[in-house]
């Protein structure tokens, strides 16, 4: 009797779990995008755009060629108040795995484009505070319908 009771419980559990196992999600996890919120200092818009159009853009293009970056964009915005971003830097990566070993893969690109080592490039980034303030970053992932 005890054995039959155990079997019935196993059968019932299997029947309950079967529909859950058979269901397939209607989407797949797609590319990952990093959105950097930027507040450009008054009077520095053209200077910052010149930097983005030269060094930043060349780094992005080299990263794209290397398959690290899928795409990138710069968006201007109309902030509702002075604390909000007036520019967004948007970089899309093929998937979450693209972030594995990112520093090691990006260092040669940064050195090639800027002629600076990683430490010097980081220092130069810190000096750009006269042109902009980075307000933060957000990571979003596209959910692609099947």
Q: What is the number of domains present in the chain?
A: 1
Structural domain of 34: 27-145
The 10 Å Cβ neighbour count of residue 48 is 19
pLDDT of residue 12: 53
Instruction: Tell me, yes or no, whether 114 lies in a domain.
Output: yes
Instruction: Tell me, yes or no, whether 5 lies in a domain.
Output: no
Instruction: Tell me, yes or no, whether 76 lies in a domain.
Output: yes
Percent of the chain with pLDDT over 70: 85
Is the model's pLDDT at 18 over the cut of 80? no
Confidence of residue 117 (pLDDT cuts 50, 70, 90): confident
Instruction: Tell me, yes or no, whether 93 lies in a domain.
Output: yes
Query: What are the tens digits of pLDDT across the range 73-115?
Result: 999 999 999 889 999 999 999 999 999 999 999 999 999 999 9
Instruction: Tell me, yes or no, whether 89 lies in a domain.
Output: yes
What pTM did the predictor assign? 0.80
CA distance 28 to 25: 7
Instruction: Tell me, yes or no, whether 14 lies in a domain.
Output: no
Instruction: Tell me, yes or no, whether 43 lies in a domain.
Output: yes
Residue 138: which CATH number? Answer: 3.30.70.100
């Amino acid at each position: 009797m005890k054995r039959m009771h155990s079997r019935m419980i196993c059968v019932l559990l299997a029947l309950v779990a079967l529909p859950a196992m058979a269901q397939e999600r209607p989407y797949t996890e797609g590319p990952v995008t990093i959105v950097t919120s930027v507040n450009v200092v008054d009077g520095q818009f053209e200077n910052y755009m010149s930097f983005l159009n030269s060094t930043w853009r060349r780094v992005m293009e080299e990263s794209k060629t290397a398959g690290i970056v899928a795409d990138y964009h710069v968006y201007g915005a109309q902030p509702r108040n002075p604390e909000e971003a007036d520019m967004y830097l948007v970089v899309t990566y093929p998937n979450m795995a693209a972030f594995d070993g990112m520093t090691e893969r990006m260092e040669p690109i940064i050195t090639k484009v800027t002629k600076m080592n990683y430490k010097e490039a980081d220092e130069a980034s810190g000096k750009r505070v006269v042109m902009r303030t980075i307000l933060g970053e957000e990571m979003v992932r596209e959910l692609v319908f099947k």
